[in-house]
Every structure is written in C-alpha cells, then in structure tokens.
C-alpha cells in the first residue's frame, strides 16, 4: 500500500511532465476544481479486438490526477469470450476484481507455487494479494466486464509475456534458455511474439 498522506488531498499538478518524486507535486489548492476528483474514463467498453481478446482501461494517478497521495486506483477490464487479460502482477498493490457482467475465471499463484482460482459471475469479487501473478479469463460466451480496485495510486504492471520476452534491452538468451530449460528456438518464438 502507499504511504499515509499528510493532507486531505494533493491533486497532481502535471503528472506527465513534472519531475517525479515519490508521487507527484500538488496543484495549488486555489486552482483545484471539482473535475479534478472526477473520472469518466471507464464509461466505455474497451476494444477487445486485440491479440489477447481483452482490454484494460486504467484509472490511476496518470489519467486521474485527483488520486495523487490517496492510495487508490480503479481499472476497467473488458474480455471477449475466450479472451484473457494475461498473467501479470502489480508490485505496489493488492487488487479487488469485481465482475459487472459475464463470467471470468480469475486466478493467482502464491509464492508457494499454489494456484488459487474461482469463476466469478456478476456482483462477485475476488482478491489478488499484492505482487502475485494473476489473470482474468473469459469462460462465458459473452463479453465480460470487471472493475478492478487497487490500494495504490499507481500499482505498476509487470507483464509475464512482455517482461520476459519483450524486455528492452533483451534478457541474455542463455539466461532464458537456462531459466526455462528449453533450447533457443523455443525462446526465439516467444521473443518474436512479444517484440524481441
């Protein structure tokens, strides 16, 4: 979770261009307006016509500056039938997954290599403990939508496929072949799928 804040609010002044400290500098209170605390960015379904068949729309401090210092963020996840929000983790946050419509298999893997999962329907919630790898997979036959909630203004995303096989610069081939105990042709296929 994020550290405790020292004031009621600290709306980010200019998250994309300001120098990054731990969080973002605050806008002067005299220029804070109601819209700083409002975010309409999750009102539309995301485009699930992607290779994973899923779309994540992020409501974190970068898109919703009023979240600065509050230790909260909210995403919208849309998943087409058979689509997946692929394995990833959030280094700074636990995650609540609240299904609005459709049916999602939601799962995470613990540090004891145990897999915990559940099929969720509308109105149901699963919790992903901080930092653990997880996914959402649409096991129904209509588009599924979930709202995900975080106890961080900027949870961070560590994507398993992109982190391992799309890292820039590339992770040395020997590290990947030895890590996965396969030959380099298998790693090359995975790398070419994810931009390396």
Q: Which of residues 130-149 bind ligand GLV (CB under 6 A)?
A: 134, 136, 148
What residues does 90 pair with on adjacent strands?
Answer: none
Q: Does 77 bind ligand GLV (CB under 6 A)?
A: yes
Site stretch for Mn ion (CB under 5 A), options 6-14, 38-46, 90-98, 178-186: 90-98
Cα 150 → chain centroid: 9
Residue 56 interacts with, from Mn ion, ligand GLV, none (CB under 5-8 Å by kind): ligand GLV
Shortest reach from residue 57's CB to ligand GLV, in Å? 9
Whichever of 12 and 77 has its CB closer to ligand GLV, that residue is: 77
Q: Where are the beta strands (DSSP E) in the chain?
A: 54-59, 73-79, 84-89, 95-101, 104-109, 115-120, 125-128, 134-138, 144-150, 158-159
Site string for ligand GLV, 147-176 (x = CB under 6 A): -x----------------------------
Look at strands 54-59 and 95-101 and give their pairing.
Answer: unpaired
Length of the chain: 196
Q: Does 75 bind ligand GLV (CB under 6 A)?
A: yes
Shortest reach from residue 100's CB to ligand GLV, in Å? 13
Residue by residue, DSSP assigns 159-188 as EHHHHHHS-SSPPPHHHHHHHHTS-HHHHH
178 CB neighbour count, 10 Å cutoff:
10
Provide the binding-site residues for Mn ion, judged by CB under 5 A: 95
Provide the binding-site residues for ligand GLV, judged by CB under 6 A: 56, 75, 77, 85, 95, 134, 136, 148
């Amino acid at each position: 979770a994020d550290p405790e804040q020292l004031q009621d609010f600290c709306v980010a002044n200019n998250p994309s261009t300001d120098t990054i400290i731990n969080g973002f500098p605050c806008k002067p209170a005299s220029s804070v307006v109601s819209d700083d605390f409002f975010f309409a960015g999750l009102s539309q379904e995301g485009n699930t016509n992607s290779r994973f068949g899923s779309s994540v729309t992020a409501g974190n401090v970068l898109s919703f500056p009023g979240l600065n210092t509050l230790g909260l963020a909210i995403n919208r996840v849309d998943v087409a039938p058979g689509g997946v929000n692929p394995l990833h983790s959030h280094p700074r946050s636990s995650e609540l997954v609240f299904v609005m419509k459709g049916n999602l298999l939601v799962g995470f893997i613990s540090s004891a290599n145990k897999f915990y999962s559940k099929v969720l329907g509308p109105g149901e919630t699963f919790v992903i403990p901080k930092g653990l790898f997880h996914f959402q997979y649409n096991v129904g036959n209509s588009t599924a939508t979930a709202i995900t909630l975080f106890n961080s203004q900027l949870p961070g995303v560590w994507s398993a496929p992109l982190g391992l096989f799309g890292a820039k610069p590339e992770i040395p081939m020997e590290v990947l072949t030895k890590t996965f105990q396969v030959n380099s042709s298998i790693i090359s296929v995975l790398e070419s799928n994810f931009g390396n």
